[in-house]
Amino acid sequence: MTTYVDASSKARRTAGVIPLHGEEGFIGMRKAGQLTAQALDILVDYVEAGVPTSTIDRVAYEFARDNGAIPATIFYKGYRHSLCTSINHVVCHGIPDERPLREGDIVNIDLTLIVDGWYGDSSRMYPVGEISRKAERLIEVTYEGLEAGIAAAKPGNTTGDIGAAIQAVAEGERMSVVRDFVGHGVGRLFHDEPNILHFGVPGTGVPLKPGMIFTIEPMINLGRPHVKILSDGWTAVTRDRTLSSQAEHSIGITETGCEIFTLSPGGLFNPLAARAA
């Protein structure tokens, strides 16, 4: 049975115990989410052919430092970077390095900034120059899936409704939803309850209540959903080497729907829509 508690009385993650946040939590998440989104906007200018992902990592670190924030991933379980850069067939948790980006790459950048103790978590896709039509369509479907999941995130629905909405979009385009990684509660903890699956059956899972705060972050593959972890212990790749894409927002359930905390200030969250504007 799922238990809901006032977030102020819950200091650490407890399995099956979901914190419900009041206005203080929403204010904190707005601030953290907006700074994270601002940082991801700034990185648009650095995602170019010839630029190593280590440069992108450095820019994010300097932005966080200059704005009184802390990248949540630095030293998290031994990780040593400010963000993750997942290129082409890398599903998630790609590690920044000195290899330059190449024309036609697609890159997911996943960044979480801690602001006044609140974790703003978001990721988005970045095309490097001109990309293939199949890469474009994969990104389009990923964003459509995220939008469908967010539309289902409202009181009276369940976490299963979110997953089912995303799964219907992806599989309707003959793509697949990664099962190995999920969205999660967020707030004063990096990873909290509930887990948000990006596939599922409508009406199942945890009932959504006002005050719940979590991420929705579908990972969509052009091929099969299976992944494997490389020897570095972090990098997850598609087993069939097909392209993968991800998009992520942090949201809070309200009385009438949900609030997105990580909206792009510059309207740059969806790179293909931004290019067309």
Sorted by sequence, the CB contacts under 8 Å of residue 205 that are 6+ apart come out as 158, 159, 160, 161, 163, 194, 197
C-alpha span between 229 and 244 (Å, rounded): 14
Place of tokens 């238990």: 3
Q: Is 110 annotated as a binding residue?
A: yes
Q: Is 192 annotated as a binding residue?
A: no
Q: What is the 3-state secondary structure (H, E, C) of 66-99?
A: HCCCEECCCCHHHCCCCEEEEECCEEECCCCCCC
CB-side exposure of 50: number of CA atoms within 13 Å? 1
Please tell me whether residue 192 adopts helix, strand or coil conformation.
Answer: strand
Q: Is 249 annotated as a binding residue?
A: no
Place of tokens 């995130």: 153
Q: Is 226 annotated as a binding residue?
A: no
Q: Is 191 annotated as a binding residue?
A: yes
Left if phi > 0, otherwise alpha if psi is -120 to 50, otherwise beta: which for 50? left
The terminus-to-terminus CA distance of the chain in angstroms comes to 47
C-alpha span between 127 and 149 (Å, rounded): 23
Q: Is 198 annotated as a binding residue?
A: no
Sorted by sequence, the CB contacts under 8 Å of residue 31 that are 6+ apart come out as 115, 116, 118, 120
Q: Is 57 annotated as a binding residue?
A: no
Kind and range of the H or E run holding 150: helix 133-151
Known binding-site residues for substrate equal 93, 191
Known binding-site residues equal 93, 110, 121, 184, 191, 217, 248
Known binding-site residues for a divalent metal cation equal 110, 121, 184, 217, 248
